[in-house]
Structure 1
Amino acid sequence: MDDKVRVDKWMWAVRIFKTRSMAADACKKGKVCINDVTIKPSREVKLNEKIDIRVPPIIRSYRVKAISGKRMSAKLAVDFVEDITAQDQLDLLNATKNFGFEQRQRGTGRPTKQERRLIDKLKKG
């Protein structure tokens, strides 16, 4: 474990972001806050800090449990970060997830002409 790690590197290491550049861009765009203050990617992260990340339409919250600058597997990442996102935010995410879109089984592909006509018929009444 490290003593001092940049916040963009830590968010990448614990798998909040896919790449370090995505984490840095989120900080630069003002989407990452620590203690309600917008931060730069170079800010060092400290133990037990609360990090808020704005991911429209919600704000995800994380608590720093341990510090590391090395990328780790998802199984190990749970020892370094705690997801403390409020339940009402998660409910809002689930409510907007399926709004206005058709749901199909993964791998079934696009609907055929016959299936499309059936879908249109069901939508209209």
Structure 2
Amino acid sequence: MVKIRLDKWLWAARFYKTRSLAAQEIGKGRVLVNGQAAKPAREVAADDLVSVRKNDPPTEVRVLAISNVRGPASVAHLLYEETPESLAAREHAMETRRLAPEPALDIAAGRPTKRDRRLIGQIKGR
């Protein structure tokens, strides 16, 4: 069975731009392999479940193939398959963000003007 370092696989599968960035994220505990924290030198093989907490919610993928080289995105996508639970969670989060109110709408009139600040000061007794 062919195995490869976790940081190298994440780099080849285009989850991270560099191997060192992948190693840093693994060190911070943002990448799990089969539900357990991993180190950058941990070897992954086909059928391993890798959870990458890059966005909210985390992306869970099943390793399908191993590659030592970083290729185009179309080839990198063939190295893994996202789990149905992960896809459903991502779609739910996207729908929640779409339906959430725009935070900027809470500020109806924007910042107070100089006149407004004077009135506020008079009301507060300054």
Above 0.5 in TM-score? Answer: yes
Among 98, 108, 118, the residue aligned to 1:124: 108
Identity of counterpart residues, as a percentage?
A: 31
Counterpart Cα distance in 2 of 1:32 and 1:24: 10
Question: How far apart are 1:95 and its partner, in Å?
Answer: 3.1
- Work out the CA distance in 1 between the residues paired with 2:103 and 2:21: 27
**Structure 2 CA distance for aligned equivalents of residues 99 and 69 of structure 1:** 44
Task: Tell me the TM-score normalised to structure 1 length.
Answer: 0.71
Which residue pairs with 2:114 in the alignment? none
Matches within 5 A, 1:1-125: 3-84=2-83, 85-93=86-94, 95-96=96-97, 100=102, 124=108
Cα offset for 1:72? 0.8
How far apart, in 2, do the equivalents of 1:90 and 1:75 lie?
A: 22
Q: Which runs of 5+ in 1 are unaligned?
A: 103-119
Shift of 1:124: 2.8
Moved more, 88-97 or 32-41: 88-97
How far apart are the structure 2 equivalents of 1:62 and 1:100?
A: 32
Distance change in 2, residues 1:67/1:60 (3 Å): same
Contact 2:47–2:63, Cα closer than 8 Å, also in 1? yes
Q: Secondary structure at the match of 2:53?
A: strand
Point out the structure with max Rg over C-alpha. 2
- Greater helix proportion: 2
Q: Distance in 1 between matches of 2:56 and 2:94?
A: 7
Q: How many corresponding residue pairs?
A: 106
Retained in 1: the 8 A contact 2:3–2:44? yes
CA distance in 1, matches of 2:24, 2:41: 12
Q: So what's the TM-score if we normalise by structure 2?
A: 0.70
In structure 1, how many angstroms separate the alpha carbons of the residues matched to 2:2 and 2:51?
A: 21
Between the aligned partners of 1:124 and 1:72, the Cα distance in structure 2 is 49
Q: Is the 8 A contact 2:33 2:51 kept in 1?
A: yes
**Contact persistence 1:58–1:93 (CA under 8 A):** no
- Counterparts in 2 of 1:18 and 1:90: CA distance versus 1, 3 Å: farther
